[in-house]
């Protein structure tokens, strides 16, 4: 894992705002922002699995797709993804394939995290691409959103 840069907290706050937007349509509050090497926002999005009835509509995948479209190419070399929750294996695989340079995440995901918790896909030397990982940025803020979301679901008897 790498160290924090001055801009990490700024971009993570934007990702947290995206996470808040997910709850408006009943999705798990996870948000993501993709930023170019020059510090320009390429895209942002939040979980939309419920809204789109799509199991792959994770914040990271949606933001990466839009960033690639804005660049006109699937390679996101030099770019950084900011995401409020540690990416799962599906998203980590997409990040390897997108050639992202760096991933900054907030809260750990002990049940599905694929960058540090369960797997280390971003640094696995068996894969054709690796990226720098910085975890724990504003982790408590992201974790609190997730806790509140799931407490409400449990109180309503939904989860």
Give the residue among 83, 95, 82, 90 at the shortest CA–CA distance from 123: 95
What distances in angstroms separate CA 133 from CA 20, 63, 122, 147, 155, one per listed residue?
Answer: 24, 17, 7, 24, 35
Give every strand in the sheet of 31-35, ordered side by side: 41-46, 31-35, 80-85, 102-107, 132-134
Active site residue 60: yes
Catalytic residue selected from 9, 18, 41, 60: 60
DSSP state for residue 125 in the 8-state scheme: T
Q: How far apart are CA 65 and CA 56, in angstroms?
A: 12
List the structure tokens of 16: 């947290």
- Tell me 117's DSSP state: T
Active-site annotation, residues:
60
């Amino acid at each position: 894992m790498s160290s924090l840069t001055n801009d990490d907290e700024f971009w993570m706050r934007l990702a947290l705002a995206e996470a808040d937007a997910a709850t408006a349509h009943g999705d798990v509050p996870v948000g993501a922002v993709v930023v170019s090497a020059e510090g320009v926002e390429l895209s942002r999005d939040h979980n939309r699995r419920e809204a789109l009835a799509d199991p792959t509509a994770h914040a990271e995948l949606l933001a990466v797709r839009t960033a690639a479209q804005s660049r006109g190419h699937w390679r996101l070399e030099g770019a950084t993804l900011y995401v409020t929750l540690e990416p799962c294996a599906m998203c980590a695989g997409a990040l390897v394939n997108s050639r992202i340079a760096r991933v900054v995440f907030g809260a750990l995901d002990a049940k599905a995290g694929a960058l540090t918790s369960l797997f280390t896909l971003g640094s696995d030397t068996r894969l054709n691409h690796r990226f720098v990982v910085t975890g724990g940025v504003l982790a408590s803020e992201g974790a609190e959103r997730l806790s509140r979301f799931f407490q409400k679901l449990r109180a309503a008897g939904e989860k």
